[in-house]
């Protein structure tokens, strides 16, 4: 099976969907001749031309709104935000129009559009350009929110998202674009709302999604060396959320740690912790623990930048806490 980067998996997904359906087109800043700020759209402008790979002005609210209008008349736009930090400029279009038009029209308008780009901490980008913003999108009814952790998942989930008739926020990571993994040449789709067990285990459930899956799996390996068998659940999509996959793991292990890189207040992780407490309380041997970013703006200093994010020692310590092994 070919081994490709996360970046190439995304590019293949868009290329295949653009070849399959001529209603699919791409728009965003520098996505055409420049091939995108992170080269995710490499070669698509040469292949599909100006009408289907559209460079836009630096105006996120404007071109996101253009995407909403295009989706309302039957096209299937893929809006690239150079980063989710810039998507804050488009938040009104996302919340007021993309998320609500299908509901407000009584289903007369579909909104088949994907808004994608890098989310979460990167490196040396400081307070304004290194934020994990999934919670503010997951909070809005009418939006689907997807966050893959591997090249395989990225390709299958993006193809499914492009075919969805609802607006999908597709979360990537700047540091993930060079990650490599096996991706089959034949076509496949991954349904939204279907979590994946990345590692079987019986002692504690570690639940995460997106970029923190890497440190979560590293923590599971470290715990194994200490005789603790951790199960790792990758949510893959935040909304819809595969609650049953999480409950099934908790019923098996009786302990749970949630790992995510956003701030903890009113986050995806805190909501999931409440769901587990409400629906699987009788199976828990300890309160659910959460490892999130510290509630501060991202520091520029690299040591502090790493210190505020989920790291392997924090996850290991949380796992030992729910197992009452933290002395």
Among 138, 158, 182, give the residue marking a domain's end. 182
Residue 254's domain comprises: 196-323
What is the average pLDDT across 158-177?
A: 97
40 and 162 both lie in a single domain: yes
In whole angstroms, give the CA distance from residue 177 to residue 165: 27
Q: What is the pLDDT of residues 22-69, one digit of tens each?
A: 999 999 999 999 999 999 999 999 999 999 999 999 999 999 999 999
If one counts every other C-beta atom within 10 angstroms of the C-beta of residue 165, the result is 14
Task: Clarify whether residues 83 and 163 are in a common domain.
Answer: yes
Would you tell me the crossing angle of helices 151-163 and 6-20 to the nearest 10 degrees? 30
Chosen domain end from 124, 150, 182? 182
pLDDT score of 30: 96
Angle at 106 between CA 105 and CA 107, to 5 degrees: 90
Of the chain, the percentage scoring pLDDT greater than 70 comes to 100
Same domain? 60 vs 161: yes
Q: What is the mean pLDDT of residues 210-220?
A: 98
pLDDT for 202? 97
- Note whether 161 and 135 are same-domain residues: yes
Residue 45 is predicted with a pLDDT of 98
Q: Is 187 inside any structural domain?
A: no
Give mean pLDDT, residues 270-294. Answer: 97
**Number of domains into which the chain is organized:** 2
pLDDT higher than 90, residue 327: no
Reported as a single tens digit per residue, the pLDDT across 224-278 is 999 999 999 999 999 999 999 999 999 999 999 999 999 999 999 999 999 999 9
Please report whether residue 259 resides in a domain.
yes
Residues designated as active site: 60, 129
Does pLDDT of 92 surpass 90?
Answer: yes
Confidence grade of residue 326 (pLDDT, cut at 50, 70, 90): confident
- Domain of residue 117, CATH code: 3.40.50.970
Question: In the chain, pLDDT over 90 holds for what percent of residues?
Answer: 98
CA distances from 181 to 6, 8, 177 (A): 7, 10, 11
């Amino acid at each position: 099976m070919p081994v490709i980067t996360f970046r190439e998996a995304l590019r293949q997904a868009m290329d295949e969907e653009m070849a399959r359906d001529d209603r699919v087109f791409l728009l965003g800043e520098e996505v055409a001749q420049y091939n995108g700020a992170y080269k995710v759209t490499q070669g698509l402008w040469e292949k599909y031309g100006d009408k289907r790979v559209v460079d836009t002005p630096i105006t996120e609210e404007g071109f996101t709104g253009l995407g909403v209008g295009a989706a309302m008349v039957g096209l299937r736009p893929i809006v690239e935000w150079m980063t989710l930090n810039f998507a804050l400029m488009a938040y009104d279009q996302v919340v007021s129009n993309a998320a609500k038009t299908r509901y407000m029209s009584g289903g007369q308008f579909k909104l088949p559009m994907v808004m994608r780009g890098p989310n979460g901490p990167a490196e040396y980008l400081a307070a304004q350009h290194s934020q994990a913003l999934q919670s503010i999108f997951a909070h809005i009814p009418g939006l689907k929110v997807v966050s893959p952790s591997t090249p395989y998942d990225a390709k299958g989930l993006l193809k499914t998202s492009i075919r969805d008739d609802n607006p999908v926020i597709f979360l990537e990571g700047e540091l993930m674009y060079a990650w490599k993994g096996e991706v089959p040449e034949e076509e496949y789709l991954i349904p939204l709302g279907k979590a994946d067990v990345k590692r079987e285990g019986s002692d504690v459930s570690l639940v995460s999604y997106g970029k923190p899956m890497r440190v979560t799996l590293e923590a599971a390996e470290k715990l194994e060396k200490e005789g603790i068998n951790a199960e790792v659940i990758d949510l893959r999509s935040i909304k819809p959320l595969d609650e049953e996959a999480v409950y099934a793991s908790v019923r098996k292990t009786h302990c749970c740690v949630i790992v995510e890189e956003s701030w903890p207040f009113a986050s995806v992780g805190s909501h999931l912790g409440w769901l587990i407490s409400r629906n699987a309380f009788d199976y828990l041997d300890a309160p659910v623990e959460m490892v999130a970013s510290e509630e501060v703006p991202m520091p520029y200093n690299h040591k502090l930048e790493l210190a505020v994010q989920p790291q392997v020692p924090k996850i290991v310590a949380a796992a030992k806490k729910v197992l009452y092994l933290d002395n």
